[in-house]
Amino acid sequence: MEIVAFGVQADEKPLLEKAFAGHHDIRCLDVFLNEDTAPIAVGHDIVCTSVNCELGENVLRTLGAGGTRMIAQRSTGFNNIDLTAAEELGMTIARVSYYSPYSVAEFAWALGMAVNRRIVRACNRTRDFDFRLDGLMGRDMHGRTAGVLGTGKIGEAFARIAHGFGMELLGWDVAENPACVDLGMTYVAKERLLAESDLVSLHVPLMPATQHLIDAVALKTMKDDAILVNSSRGGLIDTMALVAELREGRFTGVGLDVYEAEAGLFFLDKSLEAIEDDTLARLVTFPNVLVTSHQAYYTVDAVTQIIDATVRNVLDYKAGRGSENVLVPRAAG
């Protein structure tokens, strides 16, 4: 039986093929699943997807009509999947509930420190043999306050790094993480966290309750010289409101590995095309903003764990077993 995998990156392909060897044949495609590409999956019982694939009701119905009965998502997030439609169609949906939290936490800190210490600007200058220090002054993180919105596994890993810098820790979540409390984190209301933090990092899932968690009001609450980092989901930030604040000269730096309208852009080469997204085009012009292409998770350690979990999800499905990774269970009968 052949599995078709959509949105496979070049570095990811050999790892996927090796992991599935001896279990199933896998056809790796670099195109993303959407309404236009869904017919490619006709005849495949199992479809493997990435976070930037589109699995709305229409796509799922096309897949179901073509014989697909299981979706194996290669990510923790699943906001791109219509779970209600999947259940109605009798599809099994599984994701990866865990992979290295250090990959994302370390990258979030890379973004934060890059904008704090003006690394990109400095590199661009030195390539032109301009070795002046004007405009490159940053700040010590030691003694300052890190605000962590979402203190699960990734938020905890981020907090541990902040603790290593010697920072004060503020946290916000629906439940306190004892490990973060042991680090000295104080849990406070979101408004206080935003008002008092020198660096704010987002580590919460995207759901209706967290859509635009950082909206115009929240942005106004933050310090004028704060650093904002988002390595979770783009929809957590109201990007148009963020652009408005940046135009006012606010924030020391903003590091974004995700963008709320990234579908159809991220993971693709758009360098020879005109970008129609005016908000993104404006965002990347600010000298204190660094945008990367949803790569925080992209380490060999994390990707290997994601692929191994995906293989287990497929084998569990074929054997009729459930697991903590199953979002929509196999239909009875």
Beta strands at 92-94 and 145-149: parallel, antiparallel or unpaired: unpaired
Catalytic one of 74, 118, 294, 330:
294
Query: At a CB cut-off of 8 Å and minimum separation 6, what does 162 contact?
Result: 109, 141, 146, 148, 169, 199
Rounded to whole angstroms, how far apart are CA atoms 33 and 269? 17
Given a contact cutoff of 8 angstroms between Cβ atoms, the answer to whether 40 and 63 are in contact is no
**DSSP H stretches of helix in 197-260:** 216-221, 239-247
Query: At a CB cut-off of 8 Å and minimum separation 6, what does 86 contact?
Result: 55, 60, 71, 93, 328
Catalytic one of 233, 245, 250, 330:
233
Catalytic one of 196, 245, 260, 262:
262
R_g of the chain, CA atoms, integer Å? 21
Given a contact cutoff of 8 angstroms between Cβ atoms, the answer to whether 198 and 145 are in contact is yes
44 is catalytic: no
Instruction: Please report where in the chains the tokens 């380490």 appear, as a residue.
Output: 299
212 is catalytic: no
Query: At a CB cut-off of 8 Å and minimum separation 6, what does 263 contact?
Result: 32, 52, 54, 80
233 is catalytic: yes
Lateral strand order in the sheet of 2-5: 25-28, 2-5, 46-49, 70-73, 92-94, 326-328
Long-range contact pairs involving 116-120 (C-beta distance under 8 Å, separation at least 24): 116/141, 116/199, 116/227, 116/252, 116/253, 120/290
Positions marked catalytic: 233, 262, 294
